[in-house]
Amino acid sequence: MDRIRIVGGNELAGTIPISGAKNAALPLMIASLLTDDTLTLENVPHLADVEQLIRILGNHGVDYSVNGRRESQQKGYSRTINFSARNIVDTTAPYELVSKMRASFWVIGPLLARMGEAKVSLPGGCAIGTRPVDLFLEGLQALDAELDVDNGYVVARTRNGRLHGNRYVFPKVSVGATHVLMMAASLAKGETVLENAAREPEIVNLAECLIAMGAKIHGAGSSTITIQGVEALSGARVRVIPDRIETGTYAMAVAMTGGDVMLEGARPDLLQTALDVLVETGAEITPTNEGIRVKRNGAGVAPVDVTTAPF
């Protein structure tokens, strides 16, 4: 599509189903590498990044099946997908796959924790500084991993076949590194404490998934996460949280144009600060059993001051 032509001036009305969060679905899919049982994920969005990660996981030997798929449905609908990593056939993530999606680098944590080794391309190939992953590597080294960088690949191994728990303080908040270290520590020997950890809802969703698989995790959603490593993880059935970015975008659209829209399946607790700001502008925000109802009458939009910060 070369152009999008928008004719404004109309209020918005109706119901919009909110899809599953891509930023939650991707780490949950990668967590399937931690167990030889089946991990079932509900509310997985139908997006290009999800399809790409399915191909990447397939390279490692992960099988998948989709429940209730109807090809006649429009793209964007959510699905239930079963992931089975019973047989890991390859612990190498090549550049041609990792370069297409930065999140695919995250497989280094589960592969290392479960298989004792991993060879994963740097997202920028040999150009190490293109997409730095220093926090990932420092954190894995804190868990007693042996790491080398060879021709654009991170070659990682465990000592005596297993990672070992430790305390790691993130120099700066990193969602991706928090995901990876939380997954890796779940199968490490002993206790791991992650300080200055990311606090996003997607971190909590992953923790809930790992706990359902048998992990022992406390503090997800706070800046300190404690993980007691276990010998093995089992399968589980977990629901991907609704996308707070999609929810906020539609809510702001209604606040701008006026109207009355039900954001079906949305959860206000995932973006309460943003909703509070919309209320200050004059929008009506009403949580319901179905989701979030957003309304604004014909009055003008009030100005507000906003200061952003990490979640």
Domain assignments of the chain as residue spans, ordered by start:
22-239, 242-296
In the chain, what percentage of residues exceed pLDDT 70? Answer: 94
- 95-137 pLDDT, tens digit per residue, is 998 888 888 999 999 999 999 999 999 986 545 444 468 999 9
Sole residue written with tokens 């991707």: 26
- 184-242 pLDDT, tens digit per residue, is 999 999 999 999 999 999 999 999 999 999 999 999 999 999 999 999 999 999 999 99
Least confident of 19-33, 116-130, 140-154: 116-130
pLDDT at 72: 46
Q: Please count the other Cβ atoms lying within 10 Å of the Cβ belonging to residue 90.
A: 12
User: Looking at the annotation, which residues are catalytic?
Assistant: 126
Architecture per CATH, domain 22-239, reads as Alpha-beta prism (3.65)
Q: How far apart are CA 297 and CA 287, in angstroms?
A: 18
Least confident of 5-19, 30-44, 57-71, 239-253: 57-71
pLDDT at 67: 84
**Mean confidence (pLDDT) of the chain:** 93
> pLDDT band at 140, cuts 50/70/90?
very high
pLDDT at 88: 96
